[in-house]
C-alpha cells in the first residue's frame, strides 16, 4: 500500500509541479502563476506525496466563509489510482474544518473524470461560462454548500 501524505508547497518543488501540470493538464499554468499563488495570503498550495514522490497538487483560496478550488492535478503517470479522490477528500475536510459555508470550482465541460469526481464529493453544477478556456471549451461552475 502506498504511503500518501499532503504537505505545503515549497519553492524547491516548482519544477516538478510545472512538469506535472504541463503533462497532465490541458489548462497549463506558468511558473509565475504558481509562484504568485505561493505568495498569496489567501491561497493554500498543497502537494500530494505518494511514497515521498510528488504525485500532484491542489491550490485553493479561502476568503471569509467561502473557498474556491483553483486547480487540482495528478501526475498523468499516476492517474487511475484514486489519488485525486484522496487529495480532494482531504482538502474538502480541511476546508470544512475552517467553517467554510460554500466551496466553488470550475471544470472544463469535456473533463468528464473530474466532473464525476466532483459529483461524488457533493458538488453540484450551478452555471456555465461559455467559451471560457483558450480552446473555446465551456467551463462548468460547481459548488458544494455546507448543510447547517
- Give yes or no: 106 in active site: yes
Tell me if 91 is assigned to some domain.
yes
Active site residue: 12, 106, 124, 148, which one?
Answer: 106
> What pLDDT does 1 receive?
64
Question: Bridge partners of 43?
Answer: 61
68 is catalytic: no
Residue 47 maps to a domain:
yes
Query: Could you list the residue range(s) of the whole structural domain that residue 96 is in?
Result: 4-104
Q: Does residue 142 lie within any of the structural domains?
A: no
- What pLDDT shows up at residue 147? 66
Going by pLDDT thresholds of 50, 70 and 90, the confidence category of residue 68 is very high
Query: Quick check: is 68 in a domain?
Result: yes
Judge whether 123 lies within some domain: no
For residue 59, tell me if it sits in a domain. yes
Looking at 39, 118, 126, 137, which residue is catalytic?
118
For residue 89, being part of any structural domain is answered with: yes
Q: What is the pLDDT of residues 100-141, one digit of tens each?
A: 999 999 999 999 989 999 999 999 999 999 998 888 899 999
pLDDT score at 72: 93
Q: Which residue has the higher pLDDT, 79 or 117?
A: 117
pLDDT digits over 26-59, tens only? Answer: 667 888 889 889 989 999 999 999 999 999 999 9
In this structure, is residue 86 part of a structural domain?
A: yes
The CATH number of the domain where 96 resides is what?
3.40.630.30
**What local confidence, expressed as pLDDT, does residue 148 receive?**
57
Query: How many domains does the chain fold into?
Result: 1
Q: What is the pTM of this model?
A: 0.91
Amino acid at each position: 500500500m502506498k504511503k500518501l501524505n499532503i504537505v505545503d508547497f515549497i519553492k524547491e518543488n516548482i519544477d516538478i509541479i510545472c512538469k506535472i501540470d504541463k503533462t497532465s493538464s490541458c489548462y497549463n499554468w506558468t511558473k509565475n502563476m504558481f509562484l504568485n499563488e505561493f505568495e498569496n495570503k489567501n491561497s493554500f498550495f498543497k502537494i500530494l506525496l505518494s511514497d515521498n514522490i510528488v504525485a500532484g497538487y491542489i491550490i485553493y483560496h479561502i476568503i471569509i466563509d467561502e473557498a474556491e478550488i483553483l486547480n487540482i492535478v495528478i501526475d498523468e503517470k499516476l492517474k487511475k489510482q484514486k489519488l485525486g479522490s484522496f487529495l480532494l477528500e482531504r482538502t474538502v475536510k480541511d476546508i470544512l474544518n475552517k467553517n467554510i459555508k460554500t466551496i466553488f470550482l470550475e471544470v472544463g465541460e469535456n473533463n468528464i473524470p473530474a466532473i464525476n469526481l466532483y459529483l461524488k464529493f457533493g458538488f453540484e453544477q450551478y452555471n456555465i461560462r461559455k467559451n471560457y478556456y483558450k480552446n473555446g471549451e465551456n467551463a462548468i461552475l460547481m459548488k458544494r454548500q455546507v448543510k447547517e
